[in-house]
Amino acid sequence: MIFMSRIRLLAAVAVTLILGLAAFASPTLAEVRIDITNGQMRPLPIAIPDFAGSSGQETQVGRDIARVVSADLERSGLFKPIDPRAFIQTPASLQIQPRFPDWKAINAEALVQGKAEIGPDGRIRVEFRLWDVMSEAYMTGWTLSSSPADWRRLSHKVADAIYKRVTGEDGYFDTQIVYVAESGPKNDRKKRLAIMDQDGENHRFLTEGGELVLTPRFSPSAREITYLSYFRGVPRVYIFNLDTGRREALGNFPGMTFAPRFSPDGNKVIFSMAEDGNTEIYEMNLMTRSKVRLTNNPAIDTAPSYAPDGSQIVFESDRGGGQQLYVMGVGGGGANRISFGDGRYATPVWSPRGDLIAFTKQKGGRFFIGVMRPDGSGERLLAEGFLVEGPTWAPNGRVLAFWRDSPSDERGRGQSVRLYTIDLTGVNERVMITPVDGSDPAWSPLIP
């Protein structure tokens, strides 16, 4: 039962990436304890043959789906897809019955068996099964269907199902990233809102670039985005509807508004507003458009983020003499400082799981992406660079995206602003492919 042991290992890692020693247990698996402080583990070897098809078109669809599933799982860092050139059994014969000795011979520990069909209505129908090669046991399987245009989403759903069965955690592949697309010379950058699937596909621009845009954030429904725009030179918070393409200003306030985020129920937006030389945090009810001031301090209070249950808010403030992180109740009032390490802390964002807060830290001329528990304990730094900023969580709370600005040489060459992902081990860092430079990423919830 080697593979079942590996399943328990992966499940423990998924649950305890930040806790050092912890355990994962299910009703059918014994408790396993693992020390992952060093972030080192062997990815699970998995075989993902082309999904079989009865026609040339179905065969191509099956090949494309298998490649997307393989790429999703490989990027997670927990799986190691085996090179298809090593496969002994063909996708067609695999539909009859897996020949497990053939898969053991190439050291596969898991096997994905799939079939793709195109119905009379043109819809794609996919069946897949996940097998434990070592014990020759069936693990899980689904039947999914989609329109031809959504075949990539269907592939991501297959990858999510495999990821969840093996790790015990929800997947995060059927999601999108919205970000600020940057182009042009450094002293005259064009900044546009852009959106893409989490693997960089289906990329499109949402704004034309005639105005500066910053800090886009998804609503819980993943169908709206709130962001800051300097429309006609006036900084305002806007809400953009992805279904209609329409946008509207959050309100016509006398001061500068910025750093917006939706509440967990999507009914409110929290933001900062600078007025009369003072920056405070406000909350607006989107139904009534009434706003409430949540902080009242001569310091700069900004970058608020809700806890996933909506009961608390984390934000950054210099009220203690330096840029630090504070937590307060959702109604405002007293706030408790939670960051006490060396350096300055900024851009906090609460994990969807509620167990961690990600942040940007500046220390000694360097920038870091880190995480800590909501009480400030357990601080860990995951990424470092000349300038790294803007962490955003995948919906399963185990992977972060951020952006990195790389310095140019003495002639101004080589500078780039790129998006990256990193998991909570701090080891699996990946660049996200975008057609232009990118900053200020925001990860969507799972798409409905």
- Reading the chain (448 residues) residue by residue, the pLDDT tens digits are 434 434 433 443 343 333 332 322 333 322 222 223 345 578 999 999 999 999 999 999 999 999 999 999 999 999 999 999 999 999 999 999 999 999 999 999 999 999 999 999 999 999 999 999 999 999 999 999 999 999 999 999 999 999 999 999 999 999 999 999 999 887 788 999 999 999 999 999 999 988 899 999 999 999 999 999 988 778 889 999 999 999 999 987 877 888 999 999 999 999 999 988 889 999 999 999 999 999 999 999 999 999 999 999 999 999 999 999 999 999 998 999 999 999 999 999 999 999 999 999 999 989 999 999 999 999 999 999 999 999 999 999 999 999 999 876 444 555 689 999 999 999 999 999 999 999 999 999 999 8
Say yes or no: 117 and 189 in one domain: no
Report the CATH number at residue 224: 2.120.10.30
Distances (CA, A) of 53 to 1, 91, 95, 123: 32, 9, 10, 14
Say yes or no: 326 and 303 in one domain: yes
Query: By C-alpha distance, which of 440, 436, 403 is closest to 185?
Result: 436
Q: Which of 132, 167, 202 is the last residue of a domain?
A: 167
Handedness of CA 211, 214, 218, 219 (dihedral sign): negative
Say yes or no: 162 and 181 in one domain: no
Task: Say if residues 350 and 307 touch (Cβ distance below 8 Å).
Answer: yes
In a domain, 347, yes or no: yes
Say yes or no: 352 and 369 in one domain: yes
Report the CATH number at residue 68: 3.40.50.10070
Say yes or no: 302 and 376 in one domain: yes
Say yes or no: 97 and 121 in one domain: yes
Q: Which of 138, 167, 196 is the last residue of a domain?
A: 167
In a domain, 49, yes or no: yes
In a domain, 31, yes or no: no
In a domain, 260, yes or no: yes
Say yes or no: 81 and 183 in one domain: no
In a domain, 29, yes or no: no
Say yes or no: 180 and 131 in one domain: no
Instruction: Say what the pTM is.
Output: 0.89
Sheet strand arrangement including 366-372: 344-350, 357-363, 366-372, 380-385
Say yes or no: 138 and 225 in one domain: no
Say yes or no: 295 and 407 in one domain: yes
Range of the domain at 187: 176-444
Say yes or no: 247 and 327 in one domain: yes
CA distance 243 to 411: 44
Number of domains in the chain: 2
Task: Give, as one character, the DSSP assignment of residue 447.
Answer: -
Say yes or no: 187 and 287 in one domain: yes
In a domain, 9, yes or no: no
CA distance 75 to 69: 10
Residue 248 CB neighbours (<10 A) = 9
Q: Which of 133, 167, 201 is the last residue of a domain?
A: 167
Task: Say if residues 270 and 304 touch (Cβ distance below 8 Å).
Answer: yes
In a domain, 263, yes or no: yes
